[in-house]
Chain A
């Protein structure tokens, strides 16, 4: 019994320590940023993201530190990532546009559909769609075998399903979206080889969707419909591989 109490106390202390660690790295990052040591700030914010749960605030601050260090395309990627972690924060969208303007990219018009799909993650949309589907199936079964009329319930569920499915699809497509990371214009190539001829140049910060990949190259389609191969070092998806 005594040992049980001691164990509980130890676990509580460790949890607090974890919290403190997260706050500590984050706070250290803020302190480094405010003192002008941006490389140190970058390191601290990365530690904060790696050691504890990834937060929109850490990504946002990391973006500012990168921007101050002159790595504007990396900063833009971090802000895009922060936006996906906290879609309700419109401040992030404003900052994204400001940074794009600084890089020299055209402003992007966000369709309400794509923005709404960011409010839940793809897994949440999928689980929601699956749940609504099951509810619809059970309502049909219940209506078949009971005396009650469940038309209104079924109708409501159909409407919810018709709303959830497109968002799930859009969210799924967004999984393959990414951004060019290089600090200089990057060549898109006709084949996945560094010696292949170019089919176009794209400015850093330009977005695209991954169509295919081969060895160290992604095949992407940019927002202005240009298709080409790009080195994986120069392109990073917004939704990272959990591995």
Chain B
């Protein structure tokens, strides 16, 4: 049993123990981080999915640890094991054990694990950074076993997503494919929550609002098949990945819920009704990852008239009349029937001809079977004959690339003969009107027949080379000078505002004016003091010193003490809270000044004494200010 004195001795004898124990205590109060990684469940039959879970737990006895989100995990890729759709959840807990509190914060990163083959999958050790420190995540294994014959079907067998895609396509070749969702009739589909795609090198049409639905029996099981037609067009060549994801809500029957391989459990826990009717689960379904070899169109044997059409087409060319007169328009039509990328097909370019003037075609498209890829596209060209006689409309050639035969096909339409009678209308010549001051004689000329409308009277030159206006391109916002000038103006405005405000204050406030005047006078007096000190002129020095004290006091008090008596100055000095030493110095100086001034006594002190007096005065004045 220790006495009080003994315990005191212990305390002072072993100070380092105390420090050490305190440190230990401090360390133990720091947050502790543990990381645990595991598969849930650790063993699954082929066809099922598991979850790879990484739990980062931080505990502390002092307070709840601060949350720092873990945004990514550097999980090593594992062959034949697809890890995707990661999500993070956070939970906090406070335990009280033996009247001591323990706070813990857990972040769980949950990733769906989908193995494609039997075997054991091991995710090796790797590190994760958390709050600036690196922590090791231990390795963990997932066993994938054969599905027992008597075991219930895996979720992948009951509900899955599928799309049939070709192995290769040509660049720009549009195809139609069906995205099919197979849902076993055991499962009650509640809704479609989201559609996503991994198809950066393709353009994909949007998912239609009205899918088609049918029932199919596959391997003895009835499925509800919901399909959406999609139009897919590759826009980059090479091996390009493409896959699709659908997020759905479905009620999984009770027997499927025991393992709960997907999603999160209801926060409200289970109930008897859930057990009776099944639990609504949110499922992410994926098509198999596919790559399509997108080939560039061959350049060999590509016709000069080829302009991007891919598919299989037939062509029909006709005109609406076989006779006309000069200047009267007729229509030449080109009809393309078939299947292909109609949206990218433009009317073939027709060669210029002196006998005809033509305009760019109007196009119309009639789809077949509600598809943009099958139907008839028609181009109507307007032709105006310029010469009388038997004229042939230019032949139309249309080239396309057939992806089935992998060859270019050029369809050639025949030239259509049209009888053109002479015009019944008189043609007006081009006018020779002038603009501007300069009169120039211009020869009359017939206009270029295919280009200038004879009725156009406005193709007259401008003869005035007026001075240019070259500043319309400039953008002052990108010009430094603009900002510099505005900055200077702002600076000047601010300076002007401050100056005017000060002047207003000066005018309106007597005290302010007095203080400003005293400050200016004090500056001048300080110079006189210095000069008197340098010249060892005691009389001038003490006079200036007295003035300086009066001015400084006026500044401090706001009262006009320039002509105040010594008694008033003494009173004001005492009223100010200054150090005794400074007060004494000032009193001495004032007394000496009065003595010199009124009693005619001249000081006989040395220049060094004057210098020290000057220093003391300066210190006192600085303290006062």
Interface check B448, CB cutoff 8 A = yes
Interface check A14, CB cutoff 8 A = no
A125 vs B606: C-alpha distance when bound (angstroms): 75
A61 vs B472: C-alpha distance when bound (angstroms): 19
Q: Judging by beta carbons under 8 Å apart, are A56 and B474 in contact?
A: no
Interface of A is mostly: helix
A195 vs B465: C-alpha distance when bound (angstroms): 45
A86 vs B352: C-alpha distance when bound (angstroms): 35
Interface check A170, CB cutoff 8 A = no
Interface check B360, CB cutoff 8 A = yes
Q: Which of B452-486 contact A (CB under 8 A)?
A: 452-453, 456, 458-477, 482, 486
Q: Judging by beta carbons under 8 Å apart, are B465 and A23 in contact?
A: yes
A52 vs B466: C-alpha distance when bound (angstroms): 12
Q: Which of A186-243 contact B (CB under 8 A)?
A: 187, 190-191, 193, 195-198, 201, 203-204, 239-242
A54 vs B349: C-alpha distance when bound (angstroms): 35
The A-B contact count (CB < 8 A) is: 144
A72 vs B463: C-alpha distance when bound (angstroms): 21
Closest residue of chain B to A82 (Cβ to Cβ) is: B462
**Residues of A close to B236: CB separation below 8 A:** 193, 195
A141 vs B499: C-alpha distance when bound (angstroms): 11
**Residues of A close to B171: CB separation below 8 A:** 195
A53 vs B162: C-alpha distance when bound (angstroms): 65
Residue interface bits A31-45, CB-to-B below 8 A is 1, else 0: 001101000000000
**Residues of B close to A190: CB separation below 8 A:** 203
Q: Judging by beta carbons under 8 Å apart, are A124 and B471 in contact?
A: yes
A240 vs B471: C-alpha distance when bound (angstroms): 11
Q: Judging by beta carbons under 8 Å apart, are A102 and B456 in contact?
A: yes
Of the 9-residue stretches A1-9, A62-70, A156-164, which lies at the interface with chain B? Answer: A62-70
Residue interface bits A87-122, CB-to-B below 8 A is 1, else 0: 000010011001000101000000000000000011
Contacts A98-B456, A190-B203, A197-B233: A123 and B451 contacting too (C-beta < 8 A)?
no
Q: Which of B173-197 contact A (CB under 8 A)?
A: 174
Closest residue of chain B to A94 (Cβ to Cβ) is: B458
Residue interface bits A115-142, CB-to-B below 8 A is 1, else 0: 0000001111011001000100110010
Q: How far is the CB of A86 from chain B (nearest CB, A)?
A: 7
A95 vs B475: C-alpha distance when bound (angstroms): 28
> Which residue from B347, B360, B451, B467 sits with its C-beta under 8 Å from A70?
B451
Please classify how large the interface on chain B is, using the bins under 10, 10 to 19, 20 to 34, 35 or more: 35 or more
> Which residue from A33, A53, A130, A185 sits with its C-beta under 8 Å from B470?
A53
A67 vs B456: C-alpha distance when bound (angstroms): 12
Q: Judging by beta carbons under 8 Å apart, are A201 and B363 in contact?
A: yes
Residue interface bits B486-521, CB-to-A below 8 A is 1, else 0: 100100010011001101100000000000000000
Contacts A123-B475, A196-B235, A198-B343: A185 and B466 contacting too (C-beta < 8 A)?
no
Q: Judging by beta carbons under 8 Å apart, are A67 and B469 in contact?
A: no
> Which residue from A53, A187, A191 sits with its C-beta under 8 Å from B468?
A53
A197 vs B451: C-alpha distance when bound (angstroms): 33
> Which residue from B234, B344, B463, B477 sits with its C-beta under 8 Å from A126?
B477
**Residues of B close to A204: CB separation below 8 A:** 360
Given contact pairs A130-B486, A197-B341, enumerate 11 new A-B contacts (beta carbons under 8 Å): A54-B469, A56-B469, A57-B464, A122-B476, A123-B474, A123-B476, A138-B493, A184-B346, A190-B203, A203-B360, A242-B473
